[in-house]
């Protein structure tokens, strides 16, 4: 008997129409796995853990079903098949972000005109014919399910009504624990780092232990986690920052003061100085408006707009969960571009993938997915994260090389347009002040994304943590962007930043450097489900969240605007000048960290390099990969057979490049519009003639050379 408050809805494509997902899944099972599947039919399944009557559940179903292409039922649809198919239902594990489920709940609330307590959960049912038990298990493990983030249920006809839900959380009381470091030996320090997925070296663990030894106490779990994410390679780029002792062949030793400072920042500043010296900057104003200190770089573009550009990789998360990891990459870089200055208007996305051979036939290393599955999931994640946020794409590439089998490269980028001024202020400048409110805006906080920053610094294997992977909710993020754009134009925002790796510990910890301190109460943070410990709330990288600094006199207007946009906004505390990041859970202190130690206390590694004794041979393999003089015809055929040269127009067409209506030179050209363009052009604003030109280049074989050899070979 169905009980009030928990309902199951099933939807499927009408029999007279093609079930596109079912057809695609069957084709992949045959082509990728060689399985003799005869038919795959799919159904959408929604579990509503909401206080609804039967009549209300029927009304919600009516909103979800497309009456032209679908049919649905409260409970179960009839199973008319006589060939005894197998039913495989795939949904998310408890606590994993279910963006579709969240959208279904919002639709139910809009339909019924009232707020609903509880959650909605989505899953997909595959009705499969033609496979025996072994084939079904292989199909499930190798194609249908990612066991890291998904759960699976098997059924045969006749089915029972399944009302189980993946409810997350519990009633665990919040605790703050001390971590014994002061008296720990090296072995114990190493175990603490490894077991906690902290990705801290022994030298770094010793530095932390010494710091707290001087304070006369051990760190709390939250303090250690906060330091670990702040000192992670992801956040501090320690390898790029580390000094290098270069030992020359003639016996001399040259100290390089870090690759980033010397060659990246140094080269950029040299360009800026040269432009200023030669008068290339228009009206004496610098072309480089803001670099190296905000979420993304800002350059001059027109008299009314600046350009914002950010590209980042999301390799490790995408290797574990291609769809969720890549979606998080694209929505995360969108959030970084948006959170630059006082806020930028997102214009377009770019993407690029480096995978192993899609025709790879030998066994994969434990815990890693086949390049075919990675390729499919990554692109779907990037497409959904971009297009569902209302953002087109302009550039995209794929490259295949055996060296990417262990870890793919997934590049996600965003171009944005920033008004030169907003509400009478330069938009690229932001500054929290003492007394400003710390406000969390957007999605709720969950366990997803815990250790995201530190996890990206460790080796991938079958023990990689599930909670390190997040799945974005682009609809929630788009609503937040719309609200914050309006707040920017009204002059309500003092400062803003994305909640990236490390969550609140990162965003508040970084923004606090502007004033010299901050105090926040984690008990006020809206949660996806109960049971999170304070340290988890502090470092969770759960998506769709921004941290805003707000003048107290703007609080009422800001909260009213958030309510009108149906966006959650919560005051967590204030910025101060204490010199500390002070975090509480109610009256209990969770973390009390010195900001100087948090941001400047990391001991950088000392790197050693040796210059090659002789120049590289003239026929360096990295540069001869494309040229084989012995048989030009065979070389041409070999090049044409490479997977990156196959027709990729279908993949590109799956990502809409015409959203916003600003595209001028399209990503695909030629008579049939199926040839990748060398570059694209996109207007920055409607009604204006300024355009953004984008292109890219990638050559993994350069990695075969060391930097000295590369310079000589070029």
Query: For residue 608, what are the contacts with CB-CB under 8 A and spacing of at least 6?
Result: 244, 245, 247
Tell me if residue 379 is catalytic: no
In terms of C-beta density within 10 A (0-12 exposed, 13-18 middle, 19 or more buried), how is residue 522 classed? buried
Asked if 676 and 393 count as a contact pair (C-beta separation under 8 A), the reply is: no
CA angle 143-147-151, nearest 5°?
Answer: 100
Asked if 677 and 695 count as a contact pair (C-beta separation under 8 A), the reply is: no
- CA 210 to CA 230: how far, in whole Å? 18
Residue in 314, 379, 428, 657 annotated catalytic: 314
Q: The dihedral of CA 438, 441, 445, 448: what is its sign?
A: negative
Partners of 547 in beta bridges: 440, 497
- CA 53 to CA 6: how far, in whole Å? 9
Closest CA to 542 of 646, 459, 468, 592: 468
SS3 per residue for 296-360: CEEEECCCCEEEEEEEEECHHHHHHCHHHHHHHHHHHHHHHHHCCCCCCEEEEEEEEEEECCCCC
Within 434-526, where are the H helices?
452-455, 474-489, 503-511
| 579 φ/ψ sector (left φ>0, alpha ψ -120 to 50, else beta) | left
* Beta strands in 157-301, from DSSP E residues, in sequence order: 244-247, 253-256, 288-290, 297-300
Encoded tokens for 368: 């890693």
Kindly list the strands in the beta sheet with 580-585, ordered across the sheet, starting from the edge strand earlier in the chain. Answer: 495-498, 545-550, 437-442, 569-575, 518-521, 580-585, 588-594
Encoded tokens for 93: 């594990």
Question: In this structure, what are the phi and psi dihedrals at residue 391, rounded to the nearest 5 degrees?
Answer: -125, 130
Closest CA to 324 of 578, 95, 55, 560: 95
Structural element, H or E, at residue 26 = helix 20-33
SS3 per residue for 133-145: HHHHHHHHHHHHC
Tell me if residue 370 is catalytic: no
Residue in 41, 47, 234, 582 annotated catalytic: 234
Encoded tokens for 266: 């140094």
Tally the C-alpha atoms within 13 A of residue 31's C-alpha that lie toward its C-beta: 10
- CA 246 to CA 256: how far, in whole Å? 7
To the nearest 10 degrees (0 to 180), the angle between helices 474-489 and 371-387 is 40
Encoded tokens for 583: 């975090």
Taking CA atoms, 469 is separated from 316, 318, 544, in Å, by: 9, 8, 14
Encoded tokens for 365: 């290393």
To the nearest 10 degrees (0 to 180), the angle between helices 503-511 and 221-230 is 70
Asked if 590 and 670 count as a contact pair (C-beta separation under 8 A), the reply is: no
Q: Which residues are catalytic?
A: 234, 314
């Amino acid at each position: 008997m169905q009980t009030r408050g928990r309902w199951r809805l099933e939807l499927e494509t009408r029999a007279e129409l093609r079930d596109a997902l079912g057809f695609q899944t069957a084709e992949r099972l045959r082509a990728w796995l060689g399985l003799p599947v005869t038919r795959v039919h799919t159904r959408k399944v929604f579990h509503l853990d909401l206080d609804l009557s039967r009549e209300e559940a029927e009304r919600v179903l009516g909103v979800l079903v497309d009456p032209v292409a679908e049919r649905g039922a409260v409970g179960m649809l009839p199973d008319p098949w006589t060939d005894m198919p197998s039913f495989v239902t795939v949904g998310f594990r408890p606590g994993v972000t279910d963006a579709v489920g969240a959208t279904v709940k919002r639709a139910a609330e809009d339909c019924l005109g009232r707020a609903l307590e509880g959650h909605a959960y989505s899953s997909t049912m595959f009705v499969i014919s033609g496979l025996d038990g072994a084939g079904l298990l292989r199909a499930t493990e190798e194609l249908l399910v990612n066991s890291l983030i998904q759960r699976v249920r098997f059924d045969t006809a006749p089915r029972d009504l399944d009302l189980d839900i993946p409810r997350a959380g519990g009633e665990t009381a919040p605790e703050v624990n001390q971590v014994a470091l002061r008296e720990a030996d090296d072995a114990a320090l190493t175990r603490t780092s490894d077991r906690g997925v902290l990705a801290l070296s022994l030298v770094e663990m010793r530095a932390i232990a010494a710091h707290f030894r001087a304070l006369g106490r051990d760190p709390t779990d939250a303090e250690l986690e906060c330091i670990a994410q702040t000192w992670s390679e992801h956040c501090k780029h320690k390898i790029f920052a580390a000094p290098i002792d270069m030992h020359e062949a003639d016996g001399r030793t040259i100290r390089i003061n870090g690759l980033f400072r010397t060659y990246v920042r140094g080269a950029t500043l040299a360009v800026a100085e040269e432009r200023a010296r030669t008068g290339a900057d228009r009206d004496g104003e610098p072309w480089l408006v803001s670099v190296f200190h905000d979420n993304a770089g800002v350059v001059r573009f027109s008299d009314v707009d600046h350009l914002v550009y950010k590209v980042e990789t999301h390799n490790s998360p995408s290797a574990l969960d291609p769809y969720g990891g890549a979606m998080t990459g694209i929505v995360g870089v969108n959030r970084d571009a948006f959170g630059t200055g006082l806020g930028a208007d997102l214009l377009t996305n770019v993407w690029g993938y480096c995978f192993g051979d899609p025709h790879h036939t030998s066994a994969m290393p434990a815990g890693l997915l086949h390049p075919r599955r990675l390729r499919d999931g990554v692109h779907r994640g990037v497409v959904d994260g971009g297009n569902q946020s209302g953002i087109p794409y302009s550039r995209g590439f794929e490259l295949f090389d055996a060296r990417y089998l262990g870890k793919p490269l997934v590049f996600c980028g965003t171009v944005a347009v920033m008004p030169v001024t907003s509400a009478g202020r330069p938009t690229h400048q932001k500054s929290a002040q003492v007394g400003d409110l710390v406000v969390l805006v957007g999605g709720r906080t969950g366990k997803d994304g815990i250790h995201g920053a530190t996890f990206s610094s460790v080796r991938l294997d079958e023990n990689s943590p599930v909670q390190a992977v997040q799945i974005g909710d682009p609809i929630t993020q788009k609503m937040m962007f719309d609200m914050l754009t309006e707040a920017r134009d009204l002059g309500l925002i003092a400062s803003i930043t994305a909640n990236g790796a490390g969550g609140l510990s990162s965003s508040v910890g970084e923004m606090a450097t502007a004033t010299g301190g901050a105090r926040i109460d984690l008990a006020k943070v809206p949660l996806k489900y109960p049971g999170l410990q304070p340290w988890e709330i502090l470092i969770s990288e759960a998506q769709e969240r921004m941290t805003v600094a707000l003048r107290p006199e703007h609080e009422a207007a800001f909260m009213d605007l958030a309510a009108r946009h149906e966006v959650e906004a919560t005051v967590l505390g204030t910025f101060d000048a204490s010199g500390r990041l002070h975090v509480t859970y109610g009256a209990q202190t969770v973390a009390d960290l010195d900001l100087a130690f948090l941001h400047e206390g990391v001991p950088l590694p000392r790197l050693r390099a040796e210059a090659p004794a002789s120049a590289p041979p003239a026929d360096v393999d990295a540069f001869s990969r494309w040229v084989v003089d012995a048989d030009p015809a065979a070389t041409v055929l070999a090049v044409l057979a490479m997977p990156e040269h196959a027709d990729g127009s279908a993949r590109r067409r799956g990502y809409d490049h015409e959203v916003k209506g600003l595209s001028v030179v399209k990503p695909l050209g030629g008579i049939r519009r199926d040839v990748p363009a060398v570059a694209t052009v996109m207007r920055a604003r409607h009604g204006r003639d300024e355009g953004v030109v984008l292109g890219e280049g990638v050559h993994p074989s350069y990695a075969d050379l060391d930097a000295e050899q590369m310079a000589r070979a070029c």
